[in-house]
Structure 1
Amino acid sequence: MVYIGERIQHHAGRSGYDQLARRVRSRPLSPAIHHALTSILERTPSSAVKARLDSPPYSWYWRPEQLAQELHAMGSMALAGGVYHWLYGENDFRWAGRFPRRKGARIVVSMHQPPRIFERVFPDPKALGRADAVLACCRSQADYLKDFAGEDKVHVIPHGVDADFFTPAPKPAEEKFIVLAVGSWLRDFSLLAEVIREAGRRRSGLCFHLVLPRDRIKDFDGAPNTKIFHGVPDAHLHSLYQSANVLFMPVTDFTASNTLLEGMACGLPAVASDVGGMRDYMDSSCGVLVPPSDPEQALTALLNLKKNQNLAPAMAESARKKALKFDWKRIAQSVMKVYKGLYAR
């Protein structure tokens, strides 16, 4: 197996889909060749090529190191067999399927974005038809991708979590009821802000801990009963999950989420927007699904968990059990079955 994909910089050290590569024995592409190709592309004088690649939809993709990695993989596939797995298809898979490859070389592409994002950032959907297998994170995403890749090539394999690292801890006996929100991608920040404001107006006793990117911090300056964290190391992120009482996931769309699975693995019940593939990961046993863009129902769900002394602990136990089904060790086994199936045809 050869894995192609840059690590997403804002992911924590134990987060991200590239954790899969740590559970499967693989051979790396040569760092020296990658570095050399990147240097050549960075110095290329062709402004016309750069202008094209630096505009939508390629701008999602274009960085010299990513193009260098794909060119490197294409050259490798022409010389050696094996499974070449693009971990972040929207970012890194563009032209590889169009070029000749050695007999025995197989292409697997993992996709992560919901249809509306895919349509905006992936310039040639038919390119997925040149892959031998396409991995989707949830059923609704898979149904959409089948139109481009073919029904027999698309497999639903969920996102994973490091359930050995993200673990529960006893909740301290204190009066604070902490609502934790982590991350930014596809988050409904207007809903989050409204829930915080209304919780403050009602003197609800809810305390909000927000782990935000730098560019979002100013949006919550002065928010009542709110602490903001940025750039926290893994151990601190882990402790924030463990010390919270509930995970709040207001999102506009969804296929999978590091945050949701990490919170569940730490024994957090979730209040989450009922959109996209959310039901593939959680149900009423481990949290509350609320309509999207509805701050009143979201706040009501949070307050019910605070008031009901028996409900939250039961959901916490269920969340941990459910998260174990998404442990990376189990996900890696499912992916390996796909790899093996490519050679059984």
Structure 2
Amino acid sequence: MGRHSGYDLLFTEVERLQFATCYSLARNPNQRLPRGSTRLSNYLLRGASPAAAHTPQSTLLEWRAWEFAQKHAIDIIHVGYLEQHYGYLQRKQQAGKTKVVASVHQPASGWKNKRFGNPAMVRSLDGLIVLCKQDCSYFTQWLPKEKIHFVPHGIDTEFFSPADRPLPKQETVRGIFAGHWLRDFDVLVKVVDDVMQQHPGVHFDLVIPAKAALTPANAMRLLRYPRVVLHQNISDETLVNLYRGASFVLMPLLDSTANNVLLEGMACGLPVIATDVGGVVDYVDASFADLIPPNDIQGMVEKVLTIAAQPEESKRRGQAARDFAVKHFSWPVVAQQMSRVYQQLG
């Protein structure tokens, strides 16, 4: 994530509220661990059941957090990423008064096959933050519903915003797609293919990292069109300018809880065309978003062509998207919701 995206911004905003004394500890993935750290991690994790993404860095971070909490009589530890940073604390929280709450980011579909975590992780929590409403009922298998709280992901609506001055009028219509996690690249390729054949004025900016699971065949199909541009390793500033120059967000998805790209595009004043899966419905409104059933290529293509044919209506829908993002998902709004959860736990 860039400096203006990602869940860590929640904790920065919570600190600004000053409703309580807050401390943040973050893992440095590039930090070189001291010799023997893996053995120490294995020792500290005895009896715990962390997820596959958990690392020795995670264990040492949890250890530091627990020791700090006991020394300073901290009431609540919030683990920002349950799937990555919750192992050691499974064992320790019952030994003190500090309560542990964690945010789950991956959809229930990955929990069902234990790809992202396991029931033992959830059962030991004092509170669970979910990023989409449908996950509330799923996790009641392991945790009472009164301990499960829906608090949405947020977005920096000051940075991700429409251009200060109207951009020069352009004859082309530009769609933007970004990211790689749980993206449906097969659908993306087919939609772009069909739109390229049916409308000569539509262009696409695709922000796809090199690590994406984009097959060579799909990459060749996308990039054979001069009107399709691939962007990689771009700055936050370049990204926001791509949003500001776009006409809509196109987001074919396999599954989702929260989705940063949808929020970024909405905050920049773009209407949305996305797959109706997971928690997408919790972050959009019919005034600016078209949700399409999975694998409905034609349905997605038709919505793109409608945007191309109705620029004024699309502009109105874009303003509705911006207003919705500011009202519901700006970080100050989300931080207030999270502070109420802390107060309940405290």
TM-score strictly above 0.5: yes
* Deviation for aligned residue 1:203: 3.9
Partner Cα separation in structure 2 for residue 93 and residue 182 of structure 1: 29
Does the CA contact (< 8 Å) of 1:57 and 1:123 recur in 2? Answer: yes
Does the CA contact (< 8 Å) of 1:129 and 1:150 recur in 2? Answer: no
Partner Cα separation in structure 2 for residue 74 and residue 339 of structure 1: 17
Does residue 299 (structure 1) correspond to residue 301 (structure 2)? The answer is yes
Aligned match of 1:20? 10
* Deviation for aligned residue 1:208: 0.6
Partner Cα separation in structure 2 for residue 125 and residue 233 of structure 1: 38
* Deviation for aligned residue 1:235: 0.6
Aligned match of 2:343? 340
1:217-254 Cα distance to aligned partner (Å, 9 max, x none): 75424332200100110110110111000000100111
Q: Which residue identity lines up with residue 116 of structure 1 in the other structure?
A: S
* Deviation for aligned residue 1:43: 5.8
Aligned match of 1:329? 332
Q: 1:19 to 1:153 in 2, by over 3 A?
A: same
Q: Which residue identity lines up with residue 334 of structure 1 in the other structure?
A: Q
Partner Cα separation in structure 2 for residue 318 and residue 45 of structure 1: 52
Highest relative contact order (Cα 8 Å, sep 6+), 1 or 2? 2
Does residue 115 (structure 1) correspond to residue 116 (structure 2)? The answer is no
Does the CA contact (< 8 Å) of 2:93 and 2:99 recur in 1? Answer: no
* Deviation for aligned residue 1:204: 4.0
Unaligned runs of 5+ in 2: 16-21
Instruction: Name the stretch that deviates more: 259-268 or 209-218.
Output: 209-218
Does the CA contact (< 8 Å) of 1:265 and 1:320 recur in 2? Answer: yes
Q: Which residue identity lines up with residue 12 of structure 2 in the other structure?
A: R
Q: TM-score, normalization: structure 2?
A: 0.86
* Deviation for aligned residue 1:69: 1.0
Which residue of 192, 209, 221 corresponds with 1:213?
209
Partner Cα separation in structure 1 for residue 144 and residue 36 of structure 2: 34
SS in structure 2 at match of 1:148? coil
Q: Which residue identity lines up with residue 333 of structure 1 in the other structure?
A: Q
Aligned match of 2:189? 193
Which residue of 98, 102, 105 corresponds with 2:98?
105
SS in structure 1 at match of 2:329? coil
* Deviation for aligned residue 1:58: 4.1
Partner Cα separation in structure 1 for residue 302 and residue 57 of structure 2: 47
Does residue 239 (structure 1) correspond to residue 241 (structure 2)? The answer is yes
Q: Which residue identity lines up with residue 109 of structure 2 in the other structure?
A: R
Partner Cα separation in structure 2 for residue 15 and residue 243 of structure 1: 19
Q: 1:126 to 1:31 in 2, by over 3 A?
A: closer
Partner Cα separation in structure 2 for residue 199 and residue 144 of structure 1: 38
Which residue of 60, 65, 71 corresponds with 2:57?
65
Partner Cα separation in structure 1 for residue 138 and residue 68 of structure 2: 31
Partner Cα separation in structure 1 for residue 272 and residue 230 of structure 2: 19
Aligned match of 2:18? none
Q: 1:315 to 1:98 in 2, by over 3 A?
A: same
Instruction: Name the stretch that deviates more: 105-114 or 125-134.
Output: 125-134
Partner Cα separation in structure 2 for residue 338 and residue 86 of structure 1: 14
Unaligned runs of 5+ in 1: 1-10
Does residue 151 (structure 1) correspond to residue 145 (structure 2)? The answer is yes
Partner Cα separation in structure 1 for residue 158 and residue 244 of structure 2: 14
Q: 1:308 to 1:28 in 2, by over 3 A?
A: closer
Q: 1:58 to 1:341 in 2, by over 3 A?
A: closer
Partner Cα separation in structure 2 for residue 17 and residue 30 of structure 1: 12
User: 5 Å matches for 1:1-345?
Assistant: 11-25=1-15, 26-29=22-25, 38-42=33-37, 44=39, 58-61=51-54, 63-79=55-71, 80-100=73-93, 103-119=96-112, 120-169=114-163, 170-216=166-212, 218=216, 219-221=218-220, 222-224=223-225, 225-324=227-326, 325-343=328-346
Partner Cα separation in structure 2 for residue 145 and residue 59 of structure 1: 19
Pairwise CA RMSD: 2.7
Does the CA contact (< 8 Å) of 2:83 and 2:117 recur in 1? Answer: no
* Deviation for aligned residue 1:45: 9.6
* Deviation for aligned residue 1:183: 0.5
Does the CA contact (< 8 Å) of 1:166 and 1:262 recur in 2? Answer: yes
Q: TM-score, normalization: structure 1?
A: 0.86
Identity over the aligned pairs, expressed in percent?
30
Q: Which residue identity lines up with residue 81 of structure 1 in the other structure?
A: I
Q: Which residue identity lines up with residue 126 of structure 2 in the other structure?
A: D
Partner Cα separation in structure 1 for residue 339 and residue 238 of structure 2: 33
Q: 1:314 to 1:28 in 2, by over 3 A?
A: closer
* Deviation for aligned residue 1:102: 6.4
Partner Cα separation in structure 2 for residue 141 and residue 100 of structure 1: 24
